[in-house]
Chains A and B, each alone.
Chain A
Amino acid sequence: DIQMTQSPSTLSASVGDRVTITCRASQSISNWLAWYQQKPGKAPKVLIYKASSLESGVPSRFSGSGSGTEFTLIITSLQPDDFATYYCQQYNSYSRTFGQGTKVEIK
């Protein structure tokens, strides 16, 4: 099974900061990676799919990059609505695996 490792687990940042979250796969997944945002008590919301494609309606301050085993989610200017937990998710054949999550907290 493919394992996904996110870093950091927790991130403290201020409004306006540039935030970078990394996700590493235990083996190559090409560009089959998605990023989600989840707020407490709510279902996850997809932000990025196929590593770098921005989901419709998602603000352009969110961007994704990477391929193979290393992936990055960048928020260029953190907004109050962005304080949440972020998950990466890989797709390899029928199987899906999520990273353990990165909680973005207010500094």
Chain B
Amino acid sequence: EVQMVESGGGLVQPGGSLRLYCAASGFTFSSYWMSWVRQAPGKGLEWVANIKQDGSEKYYVDSVKGRFTISRDNAKKSVYLQMNSLRVEDTAVYYCARDNYYDRGDFDYWGQGTLVTVSS
């Protein structure tokens, strides 16, 4: 069974940092791009970042460029999101998702999400 489990969310002050974790299982992790997608409370979905199978390519939505860094460890079947200089508007549930970058362009498996709250 394909599964993604996120962790690392919590309450952080504006300007602070947080690192999110996503542990994957049930598929050949090293064969897939992976993405982070977020959803602010009561709002729609926003793609945040993705990373190629070997980590050699990484892309970000403009609003997080220079502040967030996506990375992965294929040996641990994990993907990470380092979030620095956090803003109130970064408050959201962050989902880890398997990214069908080449053949379908969609996200076919998602984790349950982890809540990040940026507030003073």
Contact = CB atoms under 8 A, between A and B. Distances in A.
Interface residues of B, number: 23
Contact of A43 (B44, B46, B105, B113): B113
Contacts, number: 61
Nearest to A55: B108
Interface string B85-118: 0000000000100001100111110111100000
Interface of B: 35, 37, 44-47, 50, 57, 59, 61-62, 95, 100-101, 104-108, 110-113
A35 to B, nearest CB: 9
Where chain A touches its partner, the secondary structure class is strand
Given A34-B106, A50-B105, A91-B106, A98 B112 contact: no
Interface in A86-100: 87, 89-91, 94-100
A49 B106 contact: yes
A96 to B, nearest CB: 4
Q: Which 8 pairs show the lowest CB-CB distances between chains A and B?
A: A91-B105, A34-B106, A43-B110, A96-B47, A94-B59, A98-B45, A49-B106, A49-B104
